[in-house]
Amino acid sequence: MHDTRFTHRRRHLSSRLAPMIIALSLTLAAWVAIGVAGPQQAQAQTKNPRLHDYLGSWNYDQPDRESMRNIAVISCPDAGAGCTPGPALEVPQIGDIVFSKAADGGIVGHTDQGCTWTFAVRSASLELDSPSQYCFNHVIGSAYTITKWSVTISGNREQETIEAVSHQPIGDYAFVLEKGSRTKVAGHAWAQARKVFPGTWQYDASNQQSRVNILTTRYTGSDPKTTAVQGLVTFTSSRKNTMTARTADGCDWTFRARGNTAELEPARQTCETSLGTVTVTFWSIASDGTHQASVMAGVDERGGTFLLSVGSLTKH
Q: Following CA atoms 229, 231, 236, 240 in sequence, which dihedral angle do they give, to the nearest 10 degrees? A: -10
Classified as helix, coil or strand, 288 is coil
Confidence band (pLDDT; 50, 70, 90) for 84? confident
Q: Which of 130, 17, 119, 117 is nearest to 74 (CA)?
A: 17
Average pLDDT over residues 232-254: 94
Confidence grade of residue 43 (pLDDT, cut at 50, 70, 90): low
Among 89, 106, 107, residue whose Cα is nearest residue 98: 107
What are the backbone angles phi and psi of residue 275, rounded to the nearest 5°? -100, -10
Q: Quick check: 1 pLDDT over 80?
A: no
Domains with residue ranges and CATH for the chain: 17-187 (no CATH), 191-315 (2.40.128)
pLDDT top residue among 309 and 38 = 309
Of 285, 246, 291, 259, give the one whose Cα is nearest residue 194: 259
Mean pLDDT of the chain: 86
Dihedral Cα 216, 182, 161, 47, nearest 10 deg: -170
Quickly list DSSP for 79-142. GGGT------EEEE---EEEEEE-TTSSEEEEETTS-EEEEEE-SS-EEESSSSEEEEETTTTE
308 close to 215: Cβ distance less than 8 angstroms? yes
Question: What are residue 199's DSSP bridge partners?
Answer: 235
Q: Is the pLDDT of residue 31 over 90?
A: no
Q: What is this structure's pTM?
A: 0.83
Q: What is the DSSP string of 227-265?
A: EEB-SEEEEEE-STTEEEEEETTS-EEEEEEETTEEEES
pLDDT tens track for 47-58: 778 999 999 999
Binning pLDDT at 50, 70 and 90, where does residue 20 land?
A: very low
Q: Which of 282, 283, 275 is nearest to 300 (CA)?
A: 275
> Side chain identity at 247, as an amino acid letter?
T
Contacts of 122 by beta carbon, 8 Å cutoff, 6+ apart? none
Confidence of residue 114 (pLDDT cuts 50, 70, 90): confident
Euclidean distance between CA atoms 99 and 57, whole angstroms: 6
Length of the chain: 316
Which long-range contacts (C-beta less than 8 Å, at least 24 apart) are formed by 293-301?
293/34, 293/62, 293/63, 293/92, 293/94, 294/94, 295/26, 295/29, 295/94, 295/95, 297/26, 297/139, 297/140, 298/1, 300/1, 300/2, 300/217, 301/1, 301/2, 301/273, 301/275, 301/276, 301/277
